[in-house]
């Protein structure tokens, strides 16, 4: 997840950046004024904005956020020492995901970021799909969020984003399903059938009781196995005919 920081106190901005990166987030840019933030925001993908209200330049943080969200929608969290009613009322006009007084606590910030992503996905994305298991216990622990062509997966108390087309295959692992992508593996506490059903990809095909593959990522296959990025995935007789239906014969 890419988080844009707008903060004019260098030491605080650096500490915040370090904290977020230790939590697994990416901070592609730190701006100390509104114009600099807007210029970066227009040309780069950002998943969330953390913004102070008292910043350098002609615009304060609220005016800056107003200009950012006029360009494209993004969840915003204010981190500020200003807690007066007038400032709060102005900030509410930009519909922030959270308003956190300084000094912040990492636990509160972590929860605010998670809720911001969840609520933003549901509220602002017309093609959003909440993908959950029906059991209430699993609903609290495991969730997918789809925003356009990206998927957010909850891992270790935070949502991690990757493009859907980077999925190589799914692998059943007892009560978990492993999602293998180009860059890493994610473990989800759901059966493979549930994960397959909830991932919005027509190119994900069941080839074995324990495996689902992305046919766009297949390098080669024979009667017994499929090769994807150096990984060997078995094909069972039960699913072979359905697998072959996805290919055009000439």
The model's pLDDT over 157-211, given as tens digits with 9 standing for 90+, comes to 677 888 889 999 999 988 789 999 998 898 888 888 888 888 878 889 999 989 9
Return the CATH class of domain 2-124: alpha beta
Structural tokens at position 67? 């200009």
Q: Specify which of 46-60, 80-94, 192-206 reaches the highest per-range mean pLDDT.
A: 46-60
Query: Which of the four pLDDT bands, split at 50, 70 and 90, describes residue 117?
Result: confident
Nearest to 73 by CA among 14, 31, 126, 8: 126
Query: What is the token pair recorded at 193?
Result: 């059938």
pLDDT at 54 over 60: yes
Query: 246: number of CA atoms within 13 Å, CB side?
Result: 15
Quote the pLDDT of residue 125. 47
The mean of the pLDDT values for the chain is 84
- The pLDDT score that the predictor gives to residue 102 is 86
pTM: 0.56
Query: What pLDDT score does 123 carry?
Result: 52
User: Which pLDDT score, from 0 to 100, does residue 118 have?
Assistant: 73
> What pLDDT is stored for residue 114 in this prediction?
82
**Per-residue model confidence as pLDDT tens digits over 214-250:** 999 999 999 899 999 999 999 998 888 888 888 766 5
Q: Which residue has the higher pLDDT, 187 or 39?
A: 39
25-34, 66-75, 83-92, 137-146: range with lowest mean pLDDT: 137-146
Domain at 129-244: CATH code = 2.40.50.1020
Paired with 176 in beta bridges are 173
Q: What are residue 210's phi and psi, to 5 degrees? A: -110, 5
pLDDT at residue 135 above 80?
Answer: no
Distance, in Å, from the CA atom of 41 to the CA atom of 38, rounded to the nearest integer, reads 5
Question: Phi/psi of residue 30, each to 5°?
Answer: -125, 120
Within the chain, all domains assigned CATH 2.40.50.1020 are found at: 129-244
What percent of the chain is modeled with pLDDT above 90? 43
**Which residues belong to CATH 3.40.50.2300 in the chain?**
2-124
């Amino acid at each position: 997840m890419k988080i844009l920081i707008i903060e004019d106190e260098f030491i605080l901005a650096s500490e915040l950046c370090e904290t977020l990166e230790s939590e697994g987030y990416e901070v592609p840019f730190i701006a100390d004024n509104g114009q600099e933030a807007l210029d970066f925001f227009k040309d780069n993908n950002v998943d969330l904005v953390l913004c102070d209200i008292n910043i350098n330049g002609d615009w304060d943080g609220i005016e800056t956020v107003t200009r950012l969200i006029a360009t494209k929608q993004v969840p915003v969290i204010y981190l500020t020492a200003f807690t007066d009613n007038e400032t709060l009322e102005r900030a509410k006009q930009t519909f922030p995901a959270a308003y956190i007084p300084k000094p912040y606590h990492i636990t509160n910030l972590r929860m605010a970021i998670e809720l911001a992503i969840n609520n933003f996905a549901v509220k602002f994305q017309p093609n959003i799909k909440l993908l959950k298991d029906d059991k209430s216990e699993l609903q609290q622990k495991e969730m997918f969020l789809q925003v356009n062509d990206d998927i957010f997966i909850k891992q270790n108390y935070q949502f991690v984003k990757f493009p859907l087309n980077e999925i190589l295959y799914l692998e059943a692992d007892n009560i978990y399903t492993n999602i293998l992508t180009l860059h890493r593996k994610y473990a989800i506490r759901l059966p493979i059938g549930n994960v397959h059903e909830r991932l919005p990809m027509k190119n994900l095909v069941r080839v074995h009781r324990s495996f689902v593959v992305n046919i766009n990522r297949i390098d080669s296959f024979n009667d017994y196995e499929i090769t994807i990025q150096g990984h060997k995935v078995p094909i069972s007789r039960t699913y072979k005919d359905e697998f072959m239906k996805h290919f055009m014969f000439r």
